[in-house]
Each structure stands twice: as structure tokens, then as C-alpha cells.
Amino acid sequence: MTEHIIDPSVVEAENAKRIADLKVDYDTLGERLDRRGISIDAIKDKVAGFSVAVPSWGVGTGGTRFARFPGKGEPRDIFDKIEDCAVIAQLTQATKTVSLHIPWDKADPNRLKQAASRFNLGFDAMNSNTFADAKGQLQSYKFGSLSAADKATRDQAIEHNLECIEIGKTIGSKALTVWIGDGSNFPGQVNFTRQFEHYLDSMKGIYAALPDDWRLYTEHKMYEPAFYSTVVQDWGTNYLIAKELGDKAYCLVDLGHHAPNVNIEMIVARLAQFGKLGGFHFNDSKYGDDDLDAGSIDPYRLFLVFNELVDAESRDKDFHPAHMLDQSHNVTDPIESLMLSAADVQRAYAQALLVDRNALKAAQEANDALAATQALRLAYRTDVEPILAMSRHEQGGAIDLLATYRAAGYRAKVAEIRPEVAAGSSGIV
Amino acid sequence: MTEHIIDPSVVEAENAKRIADLKVDYDTLGERLDRRGISIDAIKDKVAGFSVAVPSWGVGTGGTRFARFPGKGEPRDIFDKIEDCAVIAQLTQATKTVSLHIPWDKADPNRLKQAASRFNLGFDAMNSNTFADAKGQLQSYKFGSLSAADKATRDQAIEHNLECIEIGKTIGSKALTVWIGDGSNFPGQVNFTRQFEHYLDSMKGIYAALPDDWRLYTEHKMYEPAFYSTVVQDWGTNYLIAKELGDKAYCLVDLGHHAPNVNIEMIVARLAQFGKLGGFHFNDSKYGDDDLDAGSIDPYRLFLVFNELVDAESRDKDFHPAHMLDQSHNVTDPIESLMLSAADVQRAYAQALLVDRNALKAAQEANDALAATQALRLAYRTDVEPILAMSRHEQGGAIDLLATYRAAGYRAKVAEIRPEVAAGSSGIV
Amino acid sequence: MTEHIIDPSVVEAENAKRIADLKVDYDTLGERLDRRGISIDAIKDKVAGFSVAVPSWGVGTGGTRFARFPGKGEPRDIFDKIEDCAVIAQLTQATKTVSLHIPWDKADPNRLKQAASRFNLGFDAMNSNTFADAKGQLQSYKFGSLSAADKATRDQAIEHNLECIEIGKTIGSKALTVWIGDGSNFPGQVNFTRQFEHYLDSMKGIYAALPDDWRLYTEHKMYEPAFYSTVVQDWGTNYLIAKELGDKAYCLVDLGHHAPNVNIEMIVARLAQFGKLGGFHFNDSKYGDDDLDAGSIDPYRLFLVFNELVDAESRDKDFHPAHMLDQSHNVTDPIESLMLSAADVQRAYAQALLVDRNALKAAQEANDALAATQALRLAYRTDVEPILAMSRHEQGGAIDLLATYRAAGYRAKVAEIRPEVAAGSSGIV
Amino acid sequence: MTEHIIDPSVVEAENAKRIADLKVDYDTLGERLDRRGISIDAIKDKVAGFSVAVPSWGVGTGGTRFARFPGKGEPRDIFDKIEDCAVIAQLTQATKTVSLHIPWDKADPNRLKQAASRFNLGFDAMNSNTFADAKGQLQSYKFGSLSAADKATRDQAIEHNLECIEIGKTIGSKALTVWIGDGSNFPGQVNFTRQFEHYLDSMKGIYAALPDDWRLYTEHKMYEPAFYSTVVQDWGTNYLIAKELGDKAYCLVDLGHHAPNVNIEMIVARLAQFGKLGGFHFNDSKYGDDDLDAGSIDPYRLFLVFNELVDAESRDKDFHPAHMLDQSHNVTDPIESLMLSAADVQRAYAQALLVDRNALKAAQEANDALAATQALRLAYRTDVEPILAMSRHEQGGAIDLLATYRAAGYRAKVAEIRPEVAAGSSGIV
């Protein structure tokens, strides 16, 4: 039986205050959708089946190179993190898995499994880390890891990824995500071609060790931490990688990892079309890899991404990209941000499901640009909150996520147990 | 025998004023390069062998959607344009070919051939145009051409490309360049996937008609004239196209067609590594596809591109990408801009040849980022003008391009023959 | 009495099909807003009082430097344009004024006035044009206008603006908008400081002729048609201008005229705070000055701009910025785009009115970033279409803009009268 | 007498190897410049008089939010840092001052003064830090400092700046630089107007305490650490601040703090024209605030900035902006990067001095864009290294900075004394 961290009676009490209004709103929305030929219950069922993974590191407070300002009651270790993730899962009913990061979350795999199963949580993709040096590590990643000029360094980085796979096997993960910071800060610092050859060689070593029912996700990013060039800089390179490696290799799209103005939904469409869209790291951004809450800056873009996903789904029943949040919460309670972000990802999905695809296609074929874009706008404008809330309510989650979480007083409770972390400059400007 | 439009005696007189100083400068530079183990004559010979094509449309004055302000003595037709190109070739000795644009340059192919051979000019890649409607055309490209939803429109666009190949065969071209403006202005206006399927199908039709000794160049561009999405938006899509089409298909890189901040030299390296770098449209830009003179805004970037080309050359003797200028001259005499741009492209090549590749590689292998980047900077800082000028002089070109052209009074002469074009608003804001 | 171009019976018939559903939707939305302490009728009244000007040039089909693809039934002159604007005003009830562009719309001012008053339309700001050469003009603006190096050119440009003021006086305009393309395409082409001195001097000449009850709007733009520098490149320079000129001078913000990633709503706030926000040119963009339909690319950004306007309004009752659409309709029927854009601007205003400003302020003061941003999201998520539609209906406009306009068959009718314009290349690449 | 950290005999020995070649190069360059009417010695004297401040934090290894990879022999405290700065000053003869950062460099002011005077180093602007929490600080800057909603926090931040002024008075600084990270991560998190009012109030408190012969520099930055809005986001806001505060307040321009594509040299010109250009933080960047070595990414841009400075100098003899390097050295020896960056800043200055300003002005007045830009290019293309090297040599510095520094073995020596810092993840992603 699933343990609940938040006392269900708190959830019920909060829901009780809102259920009458919600029913009215759900019904009136249902009528409006009915006029458009859409069954609200069918949408709700699809939403209920949607899940996005929570990254273990997301429940801690993030920071920048200038400073990190810790919050209260920060998780001390992966077991605290799993509890925080369980809170999110309980209230949202939309985050059924946790994604681990090695070495940050390194622990006895069986203990990890046990901790998660208490809350009926599964494990999503394993994340390796060769962008920072771990204590006691022989070779430094200062000048690169999987693509480093130095062979011993590359071998160590490969070895680390193999270890991640091993841990993942025990805890039931089915995927490895590889993001590296390798690149260069100066023109000439690296030879682009040789560096990429090294990268591909290293990745082949990792791919070879991948179990048959696993997927390998590689993630592109334009810049940061490298500031002149990055070895996996965009989806073009990412595609080449997935193609070189084989059928289990897929590209991961992080919404904040692109050049300014880039049409991300189109990249999503291309990767889907060529069978290499692995999944997403959801977040939002205004400038660079800002890692802000999904949908908080440009919610229409998030909807347009989901519009592509629903479109791809309609062409290919086996299309199942992975969904994960990947955000940095510098000024909010991470649990609050993750709950609302999970809901906003669901929201975009629900809105995309409302698009009248026949009308859309007809407008496209007729070169009726205005009618086509209005088909999207009509779906996007629809306030689907009653659908999300009803779905949560029916599964035991919270109608009002923020109010319920705050009413439960979770943060204050863990702040009593978990010691305060000293604020301070990161010293790395 | 090659005809000269500029009286050689003018060139000689101008060169006579400068040759003594040039010899001093060439010799002292030779000594400095000698200290670095470089033979100045060897560099000069490579420079002399370098050519960049001039686009026929480049010799006319360009404009924007807001206005076009014609210059004096603008070419009336392709035959005037060829004469302007001949002037550029004569003075720079660096532009041995002209690249035609159909239908703008449509004329009797044999007459075209004759006109060019008078000046010993060859023809570079043929450029098709399906981004504007030609007079009398049945289907409009308002909503796309090779990727249009409408089959008749796609067929017409294919047909036009086949015609370009036919003309090219007669005049001795060996390549077709396809750039289209197809895309969309609104989310939903097109289905990304279906549009790209149409594009690929159309291109397969064109590719099938390509002679065995030809190359097909496709060109990506982020945006403009389409402002929400473009079907060939970046090198990732461009690579997919070249891969789908076959061994004669290559990617063309226009330096102004990328998202802000993108590392273009790295794209060049990737395409070269995967055997799909077809060539370049050289120009410079600060904001978008500004089509400014090559090297006028960021000359170091141009050098870094050539650094990749020289690096690729050193790995593969059969590496011969096509070079073409593609600029819009709105406020200068187009001939002046094209001459100096050709020289600036040569300059970047000469500087890239000066890079000590052994020292560079050693620094890279040793993770000595500073020494590596200084190896590039040392080469780039070298003022290679004496090499370019001596190369021009030895081939009958002008030591000082601008002074010689102006001394010859070419523009004033053609302005007497070619009628003034009315200035005015383009009416398309 | 106001003349109607669309037969009111068509509007009534279309509205009759939708009024029952609209009433239900309006009422259920009213109930939901009531729970939040908001009176839906009060919002509707504010919406009804909101108007955005239509630019005369917006009713023609736009284009790019690559091509212009005309639509059917394009207006032949300003009188046709006024009729198109009247259609927009009739159906949307949200566009009570037209903004003229001289010389494009030059005609007998009294005839202009008469033409507009037939439809109860007023005239918004006059727009001068010194970015293109008009026929017969003595000096060319190729190298600048109000900031040109050449005095005669500057004087001519001043004179043109004075003429715009004169025309405006007759037809009842109360503002002059000055946007110029002056800048440079090459480093060194102009001396930034001297050029700006010339600009300020010229503007002082224009300002001196401004009637006391007029406003002077200057508009900044980062680039295009100038591609290296633009004399009024950003709001910083724009502010300096307004400050130098005097109390009747204000800054105009065009949403598409900024650098990538710039926070435009913050610029709006700064200009409002320092008393220099004159108004807006609404449109949307993904890359540059794309001039797409307002709200079509990033509707949340449009909302955030209006959030600032409502905030400024709440501090200063005399805050009345000017609203104008400024779009280029390349692939849609311009009337359709302008109608829906006017509605989308109203929508953003209505949503901004829904923000609970007390809750927002409380969250801000408490550093509760999540609650603060949710206060905005809650307002933005609200589907206010019933409010807009009811407001239109009550004033004689169309509940469903697109369906009603299409049912009326206006475009087909004018296409019979107005001759087709030849499609074709603009010839300016 | 000035103490030397690097044994002068090492410098002399290295210089001895190179002086003969340098003399040849200097003389032949002198001849070439002579032809252009330029005295090489006059340029050399100006270069010799040029100095750029070194930031104390620049001599430590930087990092990103992902990781910091320490180098060998990192300075343990401000006294080690001063020694590193002395090495840079000795070899470059171009960095006569050090800029301190409080609290990082907090120490007994008299001891600081003594430590610097040993090496004949002065102190440049004081830098306050309210972007991170110092140990023991009562109020946190998590939600802002000088512009925080909370008054106690603002007061603490003001107090800290007053303390910086006090320290500066003792050690002989004449300026305070204020850069803050205040902003927001979510739409709505702050009220832009109220936040800026708080900021201005706080700054007025600091300005009031500024000695009469000091300057106050405020620095704008588009984003990071705040990712939705930043209170001093651009030069427009920065200008407003300097204007509001008074005559001792000036704007500081950091080359990496702007939106993509922004024309920075034009901002420099505007601020100079309106009397508010305070100075620079030199560095280079490709993406955001990358803090790469000055001139390493876009050396022409650095030249264009200096072209404006020399132009402003020619108009106003009292124009003396402050010059400081502000870089993050993640993969190089910071001393090496700072030495070469100081030289590259000097290089840009020397090249800008070579511009023929009469020819440039003549071309500008004649609308001869090509000749104008070539006047800049001619100066920029000139390899002025012999001028820089001769200037260094004559003042006791190193002809070849990198070779001499490495020959001296400084880093290895301090690495013996200064303990290794543990590498590791910053833990703040």
C-alpha cells in the first residue's frame, strides 16, 4: 500500500472546500467542449494517464555561479529527496517517477528501490555526471570528459556511465541520459573534429553496455559551461550521434538549450519524423539555460511543443517520448515549483488534445493560414484547469495544489528535522 | 585572348605608383614569416589559386522591403552584369566564375556562354528561384513551392529546377543551388512533417535529373521570408536532406543564415567531417541575413571558418567546397564591394594558411588553451595584404583595388550608357 | 448616421446563431469571476471603451525584399483603404480610428475627412515617410534623412514632416509619429555622434511646428533597413530624444523592434515611470521585425505588456498611451488579420484587468514569487472570449469575427471592383 | 623602489633573444606608418601611457554553476592576489592598478596599501557585493539587495556600500562600482516600478556619502543571476540612474552584458555624447556574460569600441573613462589570460589611434561608405604587436609575455607554497 506523506485528511479537507465549484466548472466546460465535439471525460482520462518524471536534484534549491541562497528544510540526501518527490506525486498525481543523478544520489541501490516503492514511485532515466569532478576522482574533467584529448580521462568517463547503468539495472530504470559540458572556451582550444571523434568513440563504449530494453538519451546544449563551443551543441549534432550509435539511441530536447529565436517545436517535429525523438527536459527560459518553471515564461511555446507530440502520436501509436522536468528553483520552494510545473506540462498536453485536427488539416491543405492558427488558438485559449483539477481529485490528489501543500505545512515540518544550510557566495564568478 | 574592360594601362599606371612600396612590404613580411618557418611565396601561390564566384545579382543594387535606392549605371540585363563581373575578375584576379540566377538571368544559353568566354569567365552553380512568382507563371508560390500543400505548385517548382539544370548543362555549370523561402508565418499554418515530406519528394525529383558530374547544393536559412518557420531552417535539416538524396547532394552554408550567437565554424567542421559540406555563400551580418560585405562586421569569424577549411583540406585532399559571394549592396557601388569582399575572403584564407598546425595540435593535446588560441591569433594578426596585392599584381590585377577601379572611371562610363532607374518605395512594408 | 459596409442583417443573422451559447458562456464566466470578486460587466465596459487604431497600410498585402504576393481585391488607394478599415471597425467595434501614412495616403484632406466620417472613423497619428524616396523628390534618402550628412536632405525631410502636421491638422489628427530607417551598413560609414546631433537638430525643427495639443511619437528599432547601426536603435536613445525635445515628445514602442530576448514589458514600465511612454505599435514576432499578427507568437508577452499598462493606469489616471496595430499581412486576408489582432489586443487588456492587484502586491511584498506569478497566470488563463464577444455584440459587432466576415463575402465583392495586381518578384534581394 | 617578483634577469634574458627581431619589425612598421603620415613613436608613447586595472578576483580560477576546476597555486587571500597582480604589471607594464572586491578582499586597509605600494600598484574602483550573502549577515539578498521589497535588507546593502567607500578612502581609491544581481525569475515576482524606486532611493543614500573627488559607477546587465528581469538591465536604465543621481555618477559598460546582436560601440558613443560614460569592464563573449578573455572572440568589436573612445577623446580632452578587465578564467592560468588580455586591450587602442580621422570624416561627409569602412579596416589590419612589445621592453616589461612568464616558472613556485584546493562540483545546478 502506498504511504502518504501528507495526511490524506488535509487533502480531503482542502478538496472539500473546492469540489462544488469544481463540479460546476467541469460541467460547464464539458458543455462548451461538447459543442466542439469533444468529450471532456476522454480528455480527462488522457490527462490522468500522463506522467512527467521529477529530477532528484530539482527538490533542492538551485543557484548561479554568483550565489546560492538555500531554502528552509532542504533535503539532506537522496532519501529526503525521495520523500519530497513523494509529496509532489501525492498532490499532483502526475509524477510517478524520479530521475536519479550519479554521483549525487549514490546510495545502496536496494535501499533506493525500497525508499521509492514505499511511495509507489518508480525510477526514470539515470543521469551521469562528468561535468564536475567527484571527490577522489583520478582524472579531472576540467578539459573535457567523454571527448577529452586525454585517453585516461575519457576511459574514466566511460566507466562512470557504465556504473550508472549498473545502478539503474538494480533499481529498475530503463534509460541512461548523457549530458556533458565538454567544449571549449577559446577558438583553437580544441579541434572540433577530433573532439567529436573522441566523443563518438566513448559513446560507442557506453552504448555497447546498454541492456536491450534500455534507451540511451543524449542531450544537446548550445553553451554553458563551455563558452566558445560545445561538443553536442544542437539537434543536428545530437541527431548524428543517435544515428551513429544505433536503434536504442535517441535525442533528448531540453527547452532551454537552444540559440535565441530558434523554433523548438519544429526541432521536435523533425526528430519525431526521423525516429529519434527520445524525450524532454521541460523548463522555461527567457535568455539561456535559465531552468525556470515550465510554462512560466512562454506558455504558448510549451503548448506548441505538445501540439507536435499529439500530432506525432496520431501518426505513430508507438511514439512514447520520455517526459522529465529539469528546473533550477532559486527563489521558490522547489516542491511548489515542481508541482505547478507538472500541472503546466499536463495543461499543455490537455490543450493540445483539444485541437480539432481535422479542421486544422483542412485549413492547412487550403492554405487558410488564419483558420489554421485559430484552430490552435481556440484549443490553447481554453482554460483546462477544471480537467486537471478533476483528474487530480479523482486520484486522491489536490484540487488546489498550492493551497493544499501550504495547508499541510510540510516545509515547516521538515525544516524542524533538516538542519539549515549556510547561505553564502559560491565564490565562482 | 581575354578581353579587358578596364584599360590595362590604367591598371599598370596605378600599380606603378605602388609597386616599390609593395616589394618592400612583401619582403619584410617574407622575412617575418621566414622566422616562423613559413615561405611567403608558397602562401602567395595558394592564394593565387583561390577563386570565389560572383553572383550575377550581386552587381545590382540591393534593397530592403522598405525601399531600394538604385545606384548609377546599374546593369540592365545579364550581359551588363557579366561585364561588371569581368571588371571584378580583371582587377581582383580572384573571381573566375559567375553564378546565374534563373529566371532573372534567363537568356539564350549560347549567347551567355559566349559573353562570358570573352572575359575568360566560367559559370558556377545555377540558382533556381521559387521564392517569387515570375510573370506568366501558372501557380503562385505565395504558400510555398517545393513543399507546397498543392501538388501542381510543387510540380511547377520541380519543373523550374529541371530547366535550370538544362540551361546549366549548356553553359558548363556543374551544380545546382536550391534555396527556397518555404515555411510559414503562423503556428499551425503548415504541418511541419507533411511539409518536409513534400519537400523531400520534390527534391528527389530534381536530384534524379542531376547529371552524374554535378552537385546539388541545398541551403538552410533560419527565417525570412517566412517568419514563423522555414522548411530548411538549419544545418540539421540540411544534413538530413543531403543524406536522404544521395552522394551528389551537399549542404551550402550562408554565413548570415543562422540563429544569433551560433558557432558557425563548428557547423562547417561537422558538415566537413560527415562529408556533406558543399560550399559557402560568403557575406557578413550583425543581425539577420543582412548580406553585408564578407568580413566587414566580424572578420575573425571569417578567419575561423577558413581555419576549419584549411584543417579539413589537410585531412582530405579531395575536399573542394564551392565558394561564392552572396551579398546585397544597398549603399555602395556593388563592384567595389564585391572586389573588396573577394579580397577579404582571400585574406581569411591566407591567414588560415599561416596557422602553425603542429603547434596548434600540440597545444590542443596538452590542454594548453591559451597557447592554442594564440596560435590562431598570431596567424590572424598578420597583415597579409602584401601577399594578396603581390598575387594580384603578378596576374595583371590591381595592387590597390579601390584606387585603381576609381581611377578607371568605369561607373561613370557605364552610367552614360545605362539609363537611370527610378528610385522609389518598394511599397512592401 | 454611420454607414455600414457589411449589411447589418448579415451580422445579425450570424450573431443569432451564436447568441444563446454566448449568453450561457458569459453567465458561467460571470459566476466564476464573481467568486474571485470581479464583476464581469465592469470588465466588459472597460473592454468596450478600448480602441486600437488601424494603420492604412495594414489593409494592403505586405511582402518581403524577396517577393510580394498580392491578394485579391487589394485597395487601390486610401479611399479603398478607409472602406476596408470601416469593415474592421464595424465588425470588431474596437478600431475607431485610422492612422495615415504620407505620402502613400496623400489626398485632399477634406475628402479624407469626409470619407472617414461616413463610417464614423477618426484619424489617429500621422506617419511620415523618409525611409523611401517619393517620386519627384529632389534629395535621396539613400544615405539618411533627418540625420543625413547632407543639410539639404535633412531640410527636405523636416519639410516633409511639417507637411504631415499640416495635413493632420485638417483631418483632426493629434499626433505625429516619426520612424526613420537612418543608420549605416558598415562600421565607420557614419559618425554615431554627429549623426545623432543632426537627428536631434532636425527633430527640434519638427517639434517647434507641433501644435500645443499634439504629441510627437518617436519610434526606436534595432535594425532594418540599416544593418550595422540605426540612429534610434533602442529605448535608451528614444528616451534621450523625448527628453531633449520636450513635454509633447513621447516614445513609441513597437513590439518587434528589440534585440532578441529583451524584456519588453520592463521597457514599457520604465518609460511609463519616467513619463515618456507614448504608445504602441502592436504586432508579434519570432525573429526580427516580423510584423506578424499581435498575439500570434507569444500571447503571454502581450498580456505582460498590458499588465504593465493596467498597473500604470492604476497609478496615474491621466495615463493614456496610444494603441495602433502595425503588421504586415503576407499570407492572410489583411482584414481578417487586423480584426483578429484587434480582438487579441483587447483580450490581453481584458486579461490584465482580471489580475488581482492586491493579491499580487501582497505576494510581491512577501517575496512569494510563486504566488505572485500565479496571480498573473490565473488572470491570463481565463478565457475572456465571452466578454469580448458580448461587448462586440452589444455594440453591433460580430460575435464570431471570422465567420461573419466570410459570410458577408466582402473580399469577393471588392475583388470584382478592384483590379488584380500582378504578382512578382520585388527584384530587391 | 619597486619590488620585482619575477627576477628581472629572466625578463632581460628572454628579451635579449627577441630584441633584434623586434627592432627590425618596429622599424619596418615605422616606415609603413610613415607613408600614412603616422609617427610610430607617437603611437608608442600613447600606448605606454595606457593602463587597464586588474580585478583582484580575476587572478583566481573562475567557474560556472556546474563546477569549478581549480588551478595550481591559486591565491589564498588578497595578499597573494596582489602578488599575482604585481607579476602582471611587471611583465605587461600596462596594469598599474588593482580593483578590490568587498567582502572578498576585506583586510586591514593599511596593510592593503602597504602590500600594493611594494609593487608600485595603486587601487582602482572599489567593488561592493550584494549579490551573495556574506557569513554572519543579518538579512539575506535572496530576493534582492538595494532594490529589495524589505527595507532592512535595503538598509544593510546601503551600509555595505558605505563601508566600501570608507575602505577605499584609506587605500586611495577614487571610485565605487555598484553591480547588483537584483531582478526577478518570474513574471509578477516584482513590481518593476516599485523595485526601481527602491533602487534609486538606495543609490541616493550611497551617492550622498561619496567624496567629492570620487566617481560612482553603475553597471547594467541584461540577465544572470536573475532570469526574467534585472533591475539595471540595459544602458537606458543605467543612464536614468546616472542622471537621477548627479554629476559624479557614471555608467559602466561591461562588454558581455548586452542582448544578442546589440551594437555596443554605439552605446559607448551615446553615453560619451551625453557625458555619462564612466568606463569599461573588458572581456569577450559569444553567448552571454561569458567573461572570456578580452578580444578572444570578436577582436574587431573591441577595436570598434576603442575607435569610439579615440573619437570621443578627440572631442573632449577631459574624457577619461576607467578601464578594467573583468574576466573569468576557467581553463587557463589566470595570470596568462590577464597579461594577454591587457595587451589585447592596448592593441585595440593602438589600432584605433592609427585611424586616419580626416580621411574617415571626409568619406563620411561624402557618403562614401566603402572608403569610410576601409579607413577603419586599414588601421585594424595593421599588426601593431611591435609597438606594444617595444613599449613593454622600454619600460622593463617582457617582449614576449607568455614565453617570459613561463620561463620564470612563477606558477610552479607559488604552487609549492599555496596549497591545492579540492576540485569539485559546486552543487548548484
- Cβ distance D11 to D91 under 8 Å? yes
List the chains bordering chain A where 3 or more Cβ pairs fall under 8 Å: B, C, D
Which residues in chain D touch residue A295, judged by CB atoms under 8 angstroms apart?
Answer: none
Q: What is the DSSP letter of D293?
A: P
Cβ of residue B370 closer than 8 Å to a chain C Cβ:
no
- Cβ distance C341 to C295 under 8 Å? yes
Q: Do D402 and B261 touch (CB under 8 A)?
A: no
Percent of chain C with pLDDT over 70: 98
**In whole angstroms, what is the distance from residue B323 CA to residue D187 CA?**
47
Q: Do D141 and A422 touch (CB under 8 A)?
A: no
Rounded to the nearest angstrom, the minimum Cα separation between B55 and chain C is 12
Query: Which of C185, C231, C262 to substitute to test the interface with D, most D CBs within 10 Å?
Result: C262
Q: What is the DSSP letter of A103?
A: T
* Residues of B (321-340) whose Cβ lies below 8 Å from C: 328, 330-332
**In whole angstroms, what is the distance from residue D412 CA to residue B277 CA?**
45
Strand order in D175-178's β-sheet? D126-127, D175-178, D215-219, D249-254, D277-282, D322-325
List the chains bordering chain C where 3 or more Cβ pairs fall under 8 Å: A, B, D
* Three-class secondary structure of residue B251 per DSSP: strand
Query: Which of B222, B263, B300 to substitute to test the interface with D, most D CBs within 10 Å?
Result: B300
Give the DSSP H or E segment for A386.
helix A385-394
Kindly report the CA angle at C398 between C395 and C402, in degrees rounded to 5?
155
Which residues in chain C touch residue B423, judged by CB atoms under 8 angstroms apart?
Answer: 133, 137, 140, 142
Query: What average pLDDT does range C128-143 have in this prediction?
Result: 96
**In whole angstroms, what is the distance from residue B81 CA to residue B121 CA?**
12
Chain D residue at shortest CA distance from B293: D370
Cis, bond preceding C225 (omega within 30 deg of 0): yes
pLDDT in tens, C383-397: 999 999 999 999 999
Q: Do A299 and C296 touch (CB under 8 A)?
A: no
The pTM of the whole model exceeds 0.90: yes
The confidence score (pLDDT) of residue D422 equals: 73
Rounded mean pLDDT of chain C? 97
How many helices (H) and strands (E) chain B has is answered by 15, 14
Which of B331, B373, B381 is the closest to D385 by Cβ?
Answer: B381
**In whole angstroms, what is the distance from residue D67 CA to residue B27 CA?**
50
Cβ of residue D258 closer than 8 Å to a chain C Cβ:
yes
Which residues in chain A touch residue D330, judged by CB atoms under 8 angstroms apart?
Answer: 185, 225
Give the DSSP H or E segment for C393.
helix C385-394
Which residues in chain B touch residue C145, judged by CB atoms under 8 angstroms apart?
Answer: none
Q: Do A63 and D65 touch (CB under 8 A)?
A: yes
Rounded to the nearest angstrom, the minimum Cα separation between B206 and chain C is 23
Residues of chain D with pLDDT under 70: 423-429
* Residues of B (228-257) whose Cβ lies below 8 Å from C: 228
Which of C64, C140, C222 is the closest to B423 by Cβ?
Answer: C140
Cβ of residue C369 closer than 8 Å to a chain A Cβ:
yes
Query: What average pLDDT does range C27-49 have in this prediction?
Result: 98
Chain A residue at shortest CA distance from C376: A296
**In whole angstroms, what is the distance from residue B64 CA to residue B199 CA?**
28
Chain C residue at shortest CA distance from D265: C192
Rounded to the nearest angstrom, the minimum Cα separation between B383 and chain D is 6
Taking CB atoms and an 8 Å cut-off, how many pairs form between chains A and C?
65
**In whole angstroms, what is the distance from residue D303 CA to residue D349 CA?**
7
Which residues in chain B touch residue A189, judged by CB atoms under 8 angstroms apart?
Answer: 364, 369, 372-373
Label residues A241-261 b or e (16+ Cβ within 10 Å = b). Answer: bbbebeebbbbbbbbbbbbbb
Q: Do A227 and D285 touch (CB under 8 A)?
A: yes
Which residues in chain B touch residue D371, judged by CB atoms under 8 angstroms apart?
Answer: 402
The confidence score (pLDDT) of residue B427 equals: 47
| pLDDT score of C250 more than 80 | yes
Rounded to the nearest angstrom, the minimum Cα separation between B64 and chain C is 5
Q: Do C402 and A340 touch (CB under 8 A)?
A: no
Amino acid at C311: D
- Cβ distance C240 to D270 under 8 Å? yes
Cβ of residue B68 closer than 8 Å to a chain C Cβ:
yes
* Residues of B (13-32) whose Cβ lies below 8 Å from A: none
**In whole angstroms, what is the distance from residue D81 CA to residue D394 CA?**
26
The confidence score (pLDDT) of residue D420 equals: 86
Q: Do D290 and A426 touch (CB under 8 A)?
A: no
**In whole angstroms, what is the distance from residue A293 CA to residue C124 CA?**
41
Chain A residue at shortest CA distance from C288: A261
**In whole angstroms, what is the distance from residue D220 CA to residue A240 CA?**
40
Residues of chain A with pLDDT under 50: 425, 427
The confidence score (pLDDT) of residue B424 equals: 55
What single string gives the DSSP state of each residue in D175-219?
Answer: EEEE----EESSTTSS-HHHHHHHHHHHHHHHHHTS-TT-EEEEE
Cβ of residue C147 closer than 8 Å to a chain D Cβ:
no
Which of D261, D367, D371 is the closest to B260 by Cβ?
Answer: D261
Nine cell digits for residue D111: 596593510
Per-residue pLDDT of chain B (429 residues; tens, 9 = 90+): 789 999 999 999 999 999 999 999 999 999 999 999 999 999 999 999 999 999 999 999 999 999 999 999 999 999 999 999 999 999 999 999 999 999 999 999 999 999 999 999 999 999 999 999 999 999 999 999 999 999 999 999 999 999 999 999 999 999 999 999 999 999 999 999 999 999 999 999 999 999 999 999 999 999 999 999 999 999 999 999 999 999 999 999 999 999 999 999 999 999 999 999 999 999 999 999 999 999 999 999 999 999 999 999 999 988 999 999 999 999 999 999 999 999 999 999 999 999 999 999 999 999 999 999 999 999 999 999 999 999 999 999 999 999 999 999 999 999 999 998 876 545 455
Q: Do B285 and C181 touch (CB under 8 A)?
A: no
Q: What count of other Cβ atoms lies within 10 Å of the Cβ of residue B247? A: 9
Q: Do C227 and B68 touch (CB under 8 A)?
A: no
| pLDDT score of C427 more than 90 | no
- pLDDT band at residue C428 under the 50/70/90 scheme: low
Q: Do A369 and B311 touch (CB under 8 A)?
A: no
Which residues in chain B touch residue A298, judged by CB atoms under 8 angstroms apart?
Answer: none
Nine cell digits for residue C111: 475628402
Cβ of residue C371 closer than 8 Å to a chain A Cβ:
yes
Amino acid at B332: T
- In the block, which residue shows the cell 588560441? B373
The confidence score (pLDDT) of residue A427 equals: 46
The confidence score (pLDDT) of residue D2 equals: 86
Cβ of residue A265 closer than 8 Å to a chain B Cβ:
yes
Chain B residue at shortest CA distance from A305: B187
Query: Which of D145, D231, D234 to substitute to test the interface with C, most C CBs within 10 Å?
Result: D234
Which of D142, D188, D239 is the closest to C373 by Cβ?
Answer: D188
Q: Is the dihedral of CA A119, A123, A128, A131 positive or negative?
A: negative
Q: Do A66 and D135 touch (CB under 8 A)?
A: no
Label residues A31-52 b or e (16+ Cβ within 10 Å = b). Answer: ebbeeeebebeebbebbbebbb
Rounded to the nearest angstrom, the minimum Cα separation between D35 and chain C is 22
Q: Do C374 and A260 touch (CB under 8 A)?
A: no
